[in-house]
Amino acid sequence: MNGSARVRIEKMVYGGAGLARVEGRSVYIPFTLPEEEILLAPRSETSEEGRIQSVLEPSAQRVAPGCMHFGVCGGCQYQQASYEEQLRIKETILRTMLERNGVPVPEKLQTHSAEPWGYRNRIRLRLDSFEGRWRVGYVMRGSRVFMEARECPIAAPLLWRAAQAFVASSQLVPAQSREVEFFCDASEQTVQLSLSLNAAMEEMERESPKQFRKLCDAIRVSVPELSGAGLFVRPVTASTKTSKRGVPAEQAEEIEIVAWGEPKLLYKVDALGRKYTHAIARGGFFQVNRYLVQELVELALGERQGGLAWDLFAGAGLFTQALVDRFQQVIAVEVAERAFGSLRDFVAHSSHQAVRETCVGFLRKRVASTAMRKPDLIVVDPPRAGLGEELCGLIAKVEAKEIVYVSCDPETLSRDLRKLLNSGYRLAELHLVDLFPQTYHMETVTVLQR
Ligand SMILES: C[S@@+](CC[C@H](N)C(=O)[O-])C[C@H]1O[C@@H](n2cnc3c(N)ncnc32)[C@H](O)[C@@H]1O
């Protein structure tokens, strides 16, 4: 073990920690801020992570955390920073990551933010049975160990009220329960509950469905906003480990085996002077920041209009709905069953199309076809893995005039932008949209033109 060391934080890095050097070696220290002087706790020779013993010279931007679990819980990394400082840190990290990949950052990187607390419209809580009662929580930082949560101030208050009502009805929670998710609309009028069992259908206890309905009735007494709920199981047994399609058990989409109340949550979004309603199935993707969904749609759509638009990784159709108002034809591509259901219902009886396929499969066919109609606009909004080599190559071959790339990971975004810029696009706009305050995560909207 080394003794304590005094270090100065050089900069913040993606992932939440501050970087300092000890005897020429990089040390990553969570919960610090730029330029702070820190006394490090003794640490092992090999560990790259440093622990604060004391903050010798605190930053003027250091504030008291807003949550009692900060530092222990794995969810938030930046509650020690004022909100203005969190935004500055994210801007600097984004710039650095893009420039490191040779992506020229426009002088005017535009940042969009809103209320930094109570913003989440969805929380997924771990469940733990303790002395005959259920506890809800998250995992501890850097581990898979359960941590009981007594508050979560980044969640909409309705979600936490529903979680408390769930705990208060502990005697009705099925024995094999593993996780519970709450999802509410932007104005907290309705909330949906999804309960996941740690069992496949054939392993489920006989009483579970009946008990689940009783549980929902009980919660509804104290939370009248509860509009619907579903009980989910894994599609595979623990013994087989993989589903019929060869997907590992932990990645397979869970199956809803009991439904209570309304099947979908109606999520209203006013954007671009229009009112849109999205019908989101339990377990279907939707953006998590209830204060910034409108702005995200407005940034992605801008003044764009034309003949044909493709919406790739379309989810339940957040962008698709606005695109159909501006383009003669829209083709939306989504692979997940629950999100696709909403998309298919939305385009039914119109000239627009919803395609249930992987984006790479969709593009391979289009690019190989001699009859491909070139879209004016391609919107892409992939998960954190980004587009990747093949998809970037295929998209470049389409030669659409404009691409809007919505990303939740600056690392994969930088890699993909490098490829797209090399294939004839130029970066016209870059927006940082802070969908995830108090955490290191960030959303961006990039506009590419050729
Ligand atoms: C970040 S979400 C964006 C959804 C939507 N654009 C929105 O803003 O609500 C990414 C979506 O891509 C879907 N997806 C993931 N991998 C995919 C793939 N290979 N092909 C098509 N869709 C995929 C996910 O199911 C998810 O709905």
pLDDT digits (tens, 9 = 90+) for 299-357: 999 999 999 999 999 999 999 999 999 999 999 999 999 999 999 999 998 999 999 99
- Does residue 70 register a pLDDT over 60? yes
In the chain, residues under CATH classification 2.40.50.140 are: 1-62
Pocket of ligand 1 contains residue 286 by CB under 6 Å: yes
CATH of region 1-62, choose from 2.40.50.140, 1.10.150.120, 3.90.1010.10, 1.10.1780.10: 2.40.50.140
Across the chain, mean pLDDT equals: 94
Residue 346 pLDDT: 95
At 238, the pLDDT band (50, 70, 90 cuts) reads low
Lowest mean pLDDT, pick from 243-257, 286-300, 378-392: 243-257
In the chain, residues under CATH classification 3.40.50.150 are: 289-449
Give this prediction's pTM: 0.95
Residue 292, SS3 per DSSP:
coil
Pocket of ligand 1 contains residue 339 by CB under 6 Å: yes
Q: What CATH architecture applies to the domain 122-265?
A: Beta Barrel (2.40)
* Residues of the chain by 3-state class (helix, strand, coil), percent to 5: 25, 35, 40
Instruction: Tell how far the Cα of 281 is from the centroid of ligand 1, in angstroms.
Output: 14
> What are the φ/ψ torsions at residue 389 (nearest 5 degrees)?
-55, -55
At 245, the pLDDT band (50, 70, 90 cuts) reads very low
In the chain, residues under CATH classification 2.40.50.1070 are: 122-265
- Does residue 206 register a pLDDT over 90? no
At 1, the pLDDT band (50, 70, 90 cuts) reads very low
> What are the φ/ψ torsions at residue 340 (nearest 5 degrees)?
-60, -35
Measured CA to CA, the distance from residue 76 to residue 64 in angstroms comes to: 14
User: Which residues are marked as active site?
Assistant: 408
**Residue with the two structure tokens 């100065």:** 8
| Residue list, annotated binding site for S-adenosyl-L-methionine | 287, 313, 334, 381
What integer is the mean pLDDT of 155-183? 96
Pocket of ligand 1 contains residue 322 by CB under 6 Å: no
Of 61, 41, 59, residue with least CA distance to 50 = 41
Measured CA to CA, the distance from residue 71 to residue 68 in angstroms comes to: 9
Q: Which superfamily does CATH assign the domain made up of 289-449 to?
A: Vaccinia Virus protein VP39 (3.40.50.150)
